[in-house]
């Protein structure tokens, strides 16, 4: 179950959002009374309520907005109990001062906005002893391992326990709480009005992660990156899992570089079966006991990890996806020799995506020239894959049949930028931009206006994700669902 938190300064707005949430399927709502700025009328808020509520009145030191006295705050909590609120949230240090009465259930809570303490079990034991119906422990995640410790504590708990880590590192604990036996998780009314760091919205929890379908048997997949907020992989993979009726969830894991080794060790504890890998981990994952497939070994980068029978395997679906996208556009998908053979290709960029593309181009006999804003990286990549390199400023002097952008130039929000001057575009060119958000980048728009054939980043992104989906689940990917989902979340082409 998802408990949706509402914090508004006026009663009518609080009630309006409460009613709206119930229409959208909410089964439990937290009314954050500490946000109410006008004279509080708790009876008005609780009268004729359409679904069960949690009444919370949080102090500033616990992340709340209460401006009155502590005595008055405790009176509010007692009144909520007298009015038979289904739940009342009581901090551990005042639990003894708020007696049990009637059928109202007591959520005894602990908050730590600095870190996740080492003694989570001891904290749970202390809270459970305070006449708790539900124990709630919320802490700030400093590293991904904090999620593991929190969820394992929830699993061991004898009382219903809500254990969550805050911050974007802690978001996985909110999504996976049901798998570990938590009675409910918390979400906010709207993603732009979070009431705690790392909180997701009700719609995100319900529609993207299908939280209420998660149980102990749910398999876990995900993406590791740093930063993670920009990733659209959870949208398309979860849509595909839902389409195929698979009991699994795909979770975003923010993993800083110095936490990667510990995270890989924690994979079995989290029940993770497969991971997508992106910046900055594609090349460094092999330092942590990951075995490479031949393609990943040749590229020296993995964008996919599989965990099977005690083995950790690194794969690369970027290469196949990029080459298939290009060959399809050239009318020769699967042909031998490849339509890319002997074609003059200008590859812009020398990062992870460009590595995979350079490897594929070499296999298919293309004549590749690499230009990067960092010349040393272009030189090294060219030397590895039998290509040539030029200065970034000289990229327009390279005669090319195919121009490929492997840089992030033109990516949202910098949509007015392009890595290639339009005056050098020719109708005979095939232009491929790996940027997928937006799909119609400035480079793609200008290439179309010059009569060039184009391949957008959406095609490559969906294809590589589809190949990952097949590796994760063993099933054929619903590519049209994945493509439609990606286009929906990135917005209409403008």
Q: Which of 136, 206, 237, 273 is catalytic?
A: 136
CB atoms within 10 A of CB 256: 15
Closest CA to 136 of 30, 260, 9, 283: 30
136 a catalytic residue: yes
Output the six-digit token pair for 47.
């009268």
380 a catalytic residue: no
Q: Which of 206, 282, 343, 445 is catalytic?
A: 282
Q: Where are the extended beta strands (E) located within 7-104?
A: 28-32, 53-56, 87-91
Output the six-digit token pair for 345.
């290709």
Q: Which of 34, 62, 89, 111 is catalytic?
A: 111
318 a catalytic residue: yes
Q: How many Å is the Cα radius of gyration of the chain?
A: 26
Output the six-digit token pair for 53.
């509520």
115 a catalytic residue: no
Q: Which of 318, 324, 343, 445 is catalytic?
A: 318
Could you give the CA distance from residue 373 to residue 186 in angstroms, rounded to a whole number? 44
CB atoms within 10 A of CB 334: 8
Could you give the CA distance from residue 59 to residue 73 in angstroms, rounded to a whole number? 8
Positive or negative CA dihedral for 9, 12, 15, 20? negative
Q: Is the CB of residue 28 less than 8 Å from the CB of residue 184?
A: yes
CB atoms within 10 A of CB 113: 14
DSSP-derived 3-state class of residue 440: coil
Residue found under tokens 């054939």: 453
Output the six-digit token pair for 7.
């914090």
- Residues carrying an active site annotation: 111, 136, 282, 318
């Amino acid at each position: 179950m998802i408990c949706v938190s509402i914090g508004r300064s006026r009663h009518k707005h609080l009630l309006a959002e409460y009613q709206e949430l119930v229409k959208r399927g909410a089964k439990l709502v937290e009314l954050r009374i500490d946000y109410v700025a006008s004279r509080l009328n708790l009876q008005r808020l609780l009268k004729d309520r359409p679904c069960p509520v949690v009444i919370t009145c949080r102090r500033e030191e616990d992340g709340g907005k209460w401006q009155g006295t502590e005595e008055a705050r405790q009176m509010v909590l007692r009144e909520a109990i007298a009015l038979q609120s289904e739940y009342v949230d009581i901090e551990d240090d005042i639990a003894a001062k708020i007696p049990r009465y009637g059928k109202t259930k007591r959520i005894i809570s602990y908050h730590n906005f600095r870190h996740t303490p080492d003694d989570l079990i001891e904290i749970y034991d202390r809270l459970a002893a305070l006449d708790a119906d539900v124990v709630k422990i919320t802490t700030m995640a400093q590293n991904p391992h904090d999620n593991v410790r929190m969820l394992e504590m929830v699993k061991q708990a004898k009382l219903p326990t809500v254990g969550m880590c805050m911050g974007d590192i802690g978001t996985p604990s909110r999504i996976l709480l049901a798998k570990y036996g938590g009675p409910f998780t918390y979400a906010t009314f709207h993603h732009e009005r979070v009431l705690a760091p790392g909180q997701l919205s009700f719609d995100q929890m319900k529609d993207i992660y299908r939280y209420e379908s998660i149980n102990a048997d749910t398999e876990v997949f995900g993406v590791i990156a740093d930063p993670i907020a920009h990733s659209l992989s959870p949208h398309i993979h979860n849509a595909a899992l839902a389409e195929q009726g698979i009991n699994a969830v795909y979770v975003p894991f923010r993993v800083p570089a110095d936490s990667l080794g510990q995270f890989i060790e924690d994979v079995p504890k989290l029940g993770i079966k497969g991971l997508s890998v992106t910046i900055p981990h594609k090349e460094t994952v092999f330092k942590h006991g990951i075995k490479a497939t031949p393609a990943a070994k040749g590229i020296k980068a993995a964008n996919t990890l599989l965990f099977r029978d005690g083995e950790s395997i690194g794969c690369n679906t970027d290469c196949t996806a990029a080459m298939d996208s290009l060959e399809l556009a050239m009318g020769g998908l699967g042909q031998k020799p490849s339509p890319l053979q002997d074609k003059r290709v200008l590859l812009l960029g020398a990062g992870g995506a460009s590595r995979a593309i350079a490897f594929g181009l070499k296999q298919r006999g293309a004549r590749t020239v690499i230009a990067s804003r960092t010349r040393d990286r272009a030189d090294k990549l060219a030397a590895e894959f039998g290509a040539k390199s030029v200065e970034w400023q000289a990229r327009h002097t390279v005669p090319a049949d195919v121009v490929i952008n492997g840089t992030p130039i033109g990516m949202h929000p910098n949509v007015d930028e392009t890595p290639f001057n339009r005056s050098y575009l020719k109708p005979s060119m095939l232009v491929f931009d790996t940027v997928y958000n937006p799909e119609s980048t400035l480079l793609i728009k200008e290439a179309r206006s010059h009569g060039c054939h184009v391949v957008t980043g959406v095609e490559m992104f969906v294809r590589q994700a589809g190949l990952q989906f097949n590796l994760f689940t063993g099933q054929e990917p619903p590519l049209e669902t994945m493509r439609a989902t990606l286009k929906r979340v990135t917005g209409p082409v403008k």
